[in-house]
Every structure is written in structure tokens, then in C-alpha cells.
Amino acid sequence: MGVLPDAVVLSMTSPRNEPPAVSDESETVGGSDPLDLCDAFVAALPITGASVAVLAGSGARLTLCSSDATAARVDELQFELGEGPQFSVSRFGNFIGIPDVAQHLHHDWPVFGAALHELSIGALFSVPMRMGAVTLGVATLYCAAARVLSPEQKTTALAIASAAVGSLTSQALRSATDEIDAGSQMAPASRREIHQATGMVLVQLDTTATIAYARLQAHAFANMKTLQQVAHEVVSGVFTFDATPYEAET
């Protein structure tokens, strides 16, 4: 994509730009209320507002939170118009910063750029929320006035996004476990296969059960498959996590 000089883009393909890894010992943000995710960004950074959305390659999306009406509108506009930095971040996994919306030419998203002027937004930052090679969501941060985030502030934004992914996947794991333990309608064979696949991914990635299960869910979400389908592929040897650099199938 053509990125202009005034758009700050940090490539997430370089190890030095990777967000902190999520581990059992790492703190998570968000608690049980998704709104806490947005509040975490606003509290830690010199921004006016934030929104967080979970995205799928098919175009499906779920907005988890918005700190205010303007943040919500910025999030909605990108999906209504089908363009904006959020789509680039979702596809490429990059941090994108537009420190001065008024001076930016918005060649990659002209209609969305014009809408930003009407909302009186000075600066916009899109932060990837990643689990391994998969971008699960995007946090969109805005400032009422033009502003440049310092390298330390960008690192903070990426760290919050990383912790948020840990929180979301942990919640998903607890919910799924509760469902299974409560006797959901999933066939016992399917439940056993998911547990077996989780154990196999745990060994493949040399990680914890929580992260292994989260990676299964991330791969299923990114490829529009059910968790049972992905578990079967892992158990049958069709797919292995240690041999595939990208979890989104092409």
C-alpha cells in the first residue's frame, strides 16, 4: 500500500517491533468488562478516545468497546465506507499513525479521510491486537488535536494491545471450558478431540494450555472455521502450528 511520509508505520514483521509476548505471568487488561479495554488506552496515553474491534478476514466484525461517541463513529465509518487504516492494520499487522489528520492526503482511504475532517479529529492511531501471526483485532485511538506519539508511547500502546489479547483469550477459554463442563450439546467425541488438539499444540509451541487453546481459537477465527474443524485438522496431522508461519490460510 502507498504510505505517505506523514503516516508513521511500524512494520510488525521485524522482531524489534513485536509487542510483548503474552504469558501466564503477564498482566492482562479489561477484566470482565470490555469497556475497560478502551479505558486502559485512554488512561495510559495522551489521547482523547479509543475503540476496540475484533475483525475477521471475511469482513465480519464485532466492536468490543468505544470510550465515547466520536471513537464509536470513527470505528463505524471505516466499516460503512469499506476503507480506513483499520483494514490495513488487520491485513498487514502494522501500527499506523496519522499524527496530523488535516495535513495528511489520505490516498489510501480518501472518503474516510474526508469524514475525519468533519469529525474534527486531529490525530489517529491504529494499533494491531495480535496472537502469534494473526491480527485478531484493532484498537483505534484518536486525539482532538494533532499529536505525535513518542516511541515510548507507541510501545505502551502495543503493550496494552498485547495484554488485551491475553485478557480476551483467557475470557474465551474460561467461557468455553464452562460450556463444556456444564454439558453443552457438543458431542463428547468433539470435546475429547479439542482437548487432544490443545495438548498437541501445547507441545508443538512449547507453551501453556491456555495459550495453546487460544491459538486454536485464533486459527479458527482467522479462517472462518469451527473450533471442532481446526481440532480435527490438528489431531489428524493436516495442520501443525510449529510448521506454519502464518495461521491465515490462503
Spell out the per-residue pLDDT of the chain, length 250, in tens.
333 333 443 333 333 344 444 333 334 454 445 568 899 999 999 999 999 988 655 556 678 889 999 999 999 998 888 899 998 998 889 999 999 999 998 899 999 998 888 898 999 999 999 877 778 889 999 999 999 999 999 999 999 998 888 766 655 555 445 544 554 455 556 778 888 888 888 878 877 777 788 888 888 877 778 888 889 999 999 988 864 444 445 4
| Per-domain residue ranges of the chain | 8-170, 185-235
Q: Which CATH architecture has domain 185-235?
A: Orthogonal Bundle (1.10)
Q: Which fold would CATH assign to domain 8-170? A: Beta-Lactamase (3.30.450)
Please give the grid coordinates belonging to residue 50. 479509543
What is the Cα–Cα distance from 99 to 211, expressed in whole angstroms?
35
Distances (CA, A) of 193 to 37, 99, 198, 224, 225: 33, 48, 8, 19, 15
What is the Cα–Cα distance from 216 to 230, expressed in whole angstroms?
7
What is the Cα–Cα distance from 77 to 72, expressed in whole angstroms?
9
Phi/psi of residue 50, nearest 5 degrees: -150, 155
pTM of the predicted model, to two decimals?
Answer: 0.62
* Residue 216 exposed, middle or buried by CB count within 10 Å (0-12, 13-18, 19+): buried
- Write b or e for each residue in 135-170: b if 16 or more Cβ atoms lie within 10 A of its Cβ, otherwise e: bbbbbbbbbeeebebeeebbbebbbbbbbbbbbbbb
